[in-house]
Amino acid sequence: MDARTIGAVLRARDHVAREPFGEEGVRLGDIVLRNRLVTSSSLLGYGVSNSRLVPYGMSPVSLFVPLAEFGAVTTRTLTVEPREGHFTTRDEYALSELPDLLKRYGKVLRGTDAGWVNAFGWCNVGIDAYLRDYYPRTRDQRVIISLGGFSAEEFVTLVDRVNAAVPAGDIAAVEFNVSCHNVNFDFSTILQDVLDEAVPRSNHPVILKLSPDYDYLRNAEQAAKAGVSALTAINTVKALRLDPRTGEPWLSNRYGGLSGRAIKPIGLRVVSELREAGVTLPIIATGGIRTVDDCREYFWAGADAVSLGSATWLASYPGYALAPLRALHVRRVLKAVRRYGALPTRSALSP
């Protein structure tokens, strides 16, 4: 199959929509994105930060990339109450504090072979602080709010608070993170209750984030029956690294989530298997995406949109000096994928 065939497949899945703010966008079911390229949860924090060094998100690359031009920017996972996790809720530091901050990062985020392992443990300011202090400053962005909890009741509370603060249509969707490995919880015990109780209450489309370490085919079937609007595939892969000299785990949580280039073949497999199993929900693919070719592979596998995660946003660490160069590359990917938006009038995925 060639690029025109991919375009035909994508046209069969969605159509161009007119967004409430007057821009042409891509509709995936009842989710409206500005284009097919979004950002993954947590990598850009809340889409804006309080730090003078990094005013947009958590990555220096975000200083040089127009976040408002992405299909949507996904927040870090937010909980009912503020949560320190294995790190901190702070996002503002003086220069004198940076050495200590880097040491703390070393306990929750480490580069490994072709990827990263992390165990931040859902550190976040809480849903109320986000809606009060951060969301109003990201109104120029299309936003996906990531939500996390340990019971159906917590997800219901989160949905209710988003409903109360954000009118229907003002955000792209809420994403249910019911698959994170670095909070030490078996989400399979609550998934069905979360779907049954929280999904119907949401005034916004719901995306379910799938883990390759759970029964993602069954989870996708559950999501479809519950009225979920789309799937994110995949979450990080449960992983472990040990110091070869001492046997001590790299991360303070021992286990963490593996992301980056190393998991791209796994992400492609999951997306393909979902389609082979007959799953028709829109899929936002993430896992090792860094180039236009990576995006194209995921579209071939069956994805409707793609998400940039650690393979992109952490690529310039250490050293802010490389951020402008890395940002040029991200801009090229964004420009290429934005061409895929108006599907009825032009061929998708043309090189």
Q: In this structure, what token pair is assigned to residue 93?
A: 């530091």
Q: Which of 178, 180, 190, 195 is catalytic?
A: 180
83 beta partners: 124
> 109-112 and 115-118: which strand pairing?
antiparallel
Residue environment code for 102-141, b if the CB has 16+ CB neighbours within 10 A, otherwise e: eeeeeebbbeeeebbbbbbbbbbbbbebbbeebbeebeeb
- Spell out the long-range contacts of 12-21 with Cβ–Cβ below 8 A and sequence spacing 24 or more: 13/282, 13/304, 14/282, 14/304, 14/343, 15/343, 15/344, 16/341, 16/342, 16/343, 16/344, 20/169, 20/170
CA distance 201 to 204: 9
Token pair for residue 178?
A: 């019911």
Rounded-to-integer distance, Cα 44 and Cα 33, Å: 18
Active site residue 123: no
Kind and range of the H or E run holding 230:
strand 230-233
Helix (H, G, I), strand (E, B) or coil at 316: coil
Residues annotated as part of the active site: 180
